[in-house]
Amino acid sequence: MQYKSAPELTIELSNKYTAVLDTNHGQITIELDPERSPQTVNNFVFLAREGYYDGVTFHRVVPGFVIQGGDPTGTGSGGPGYKFRDELEGAGSYDRGVVAMANAGPNTNGSQFFICLKNAGLPHAYTIFGKVTDGMEAVDAIAALPTRAEKPTEDAVINSVTLTETR
């Protein structure tokens, strides 16, 4: 699916958003942080509601560092057809379980995201928009897959994303 522009802000910033990624390696529950990164959470929620992530793989695995997904082409260069700005205003570190946007440089966010496997020691250049609250064993199972040039040689598929919104 390709879209013409980033979605307009439609989430309620005061609400709590949880995403459950049902993968072929187990479920990963992510608490999204709309207060910290409203546009990024809005984008993720929009794409998930549209079914954009259904059937998409974790196309990049760097053991001891990150797993990365959200590219419907599975190549690392695909996206939704638009880019949007970074949200780096808040402090933060890329600790184990942190979920952040992958990018190709400043203000090039789209659909790709990564989950940190440990404190990644990255520069503050990637928008943090959530944290894994349950299912790190599924993340670790994906991270343990054999790879060739950081691409898993076995599928790591996001079957679906279920969103919960509470006040």
Here the CATH number for the domain that contains residue 52 is: 2.40.100.10
Stated pTM of the model: 0.97
The answer to whether position 40 is within a domain reads yes
Question: CA 151 to CA 106: how far, in whole Å?
Answer: 24
The answer to whether position 98 is within a domain reads yes
**Domain of 124, in residue numbers:** 16-166
Count of structural domains, the chain: 1
The answer to whether position 124 is within a domain reads yes
The answer to whether position 86 is within a domain reads yes
The answer to whether position 161 is within a domain reads yes
Of 144, 102, 142, 152, nearest in space to 122 by CA: 102
pLDDT of residue 121: 86
pLDDT of residue 74: 95
Name the DSSP letter for residue 48: H
Query: Could you report the average pLDDT of every consecutive run of 10 residues in the chain (167 residues)?
Result: 89 96 98 96 98 98 97 96 94 94 96 95 94 98 97 97 96
The answer to whether position 71 is within a domain reads yes
